[in-house]
Amino acid sequence: MTFSRFSLLAVSRLITAVTLLFACIYSAQAKVFSLPSEGESVIGKEERIIAGREDTLTDIGRDNDVGYDEILNANPGVDAWMPQNGSTVVLPHLYLLPDAPRQGIVINAAEMRMYYYPKGTGTVESFPISIGRSDWNTPMGVTKITRKTANPVWYPTASVKQEHLANGDPLPSVVPAGPDNPLGKYALYLGLPAYLIHGTNNEYGIGMQVTHGCMRMYAPDIQRLYQTVPVGTSVRIVNQPYKAGWKEGVLYVEVHPWLEGTPSAHLNDTNLLTQLVKTRLSQYIDYPVDWQAVEQARIEANGVPMAVGPTVTPIALSQ
- Interior angle at CA 298, CA 59 and CA 108, nearest 5: 55
Known catalytic residue at 214: yes
- Please tell me the predicted confidence (pLDDT) of residue 286: 82
Question: For the residues of the chain, what is the DSSP string, one character each?
Answer: ----HHHHHHHHHHHHHHHHHHHHHHHHHHTEEEPPPTT--EEE--EEEE--TT--HHHHHHHTT--HHHHHHH-TTS-SSSPPTT-EEEE--EEEPPSS-SSEEEEEGGGTEEEEE-TTSSEEEEEE-BEE-TTSPPPPEEEEEEEEEESPPB---HHHHHHHHHTT----S-B-SSTT-TTTTEEEEESSTT-EEE--S-GGGTTSEEESS-EE--HHHHHHHHHHPPTT-EEEEE--SEEEEEETTEEEEEE-PPPTT--HHHHT-TTHHHHHHHHHHTTBS-----HHHHHHHHHH--S--EE-S------BTT-
Residue 70 exposed, middle or buried by CB count within 10 Å (0-12, 13-18, 19+): buried
Q: What count of other Cβ atoms lies within 10 Å of the Cβ of residue 169? A: 9
**Domains in the chain, start-ordered, CATH in brackets?**
97-238 (2.40.440.10), 242-307 (no CATH)
Pairing between β-strand 104-108 and β-strand 131-132 as defined by DSSP bridges = unpaired
- Please tell me the predicted confidence (pLDDT) of residue 184: 96
CA distance 140 to 259: 13
Known catalytic residue at 256: no
Choice among 93, 212, 214, 256 that is catalytic: 214
Run means of pLDDT, 10 residues per run, the chain, 319 residues = 43 39 42 91 94 91 95 93 91 96 97 97 97 92 97 91 88 90 96 94 91 95 97 98 94 95 78 93 84 95 94 56
**pTM, two decimal places:** 0.87
- Please tell me the predicted confidence (pLDDT) of residue 314: 53
- Please tell me the predicted confidence (pLDDT) of residue 19: 35
CA distance 25 to 122: 21
Output the CA–CA distances (angstroms, integers) from residue 224 to 27, 91, 171, 198, 200, in the order listed.
10, 21, 30, 11, 14
Q: What are phi and psi of 154, to 5 degrees?
A: -100, 130
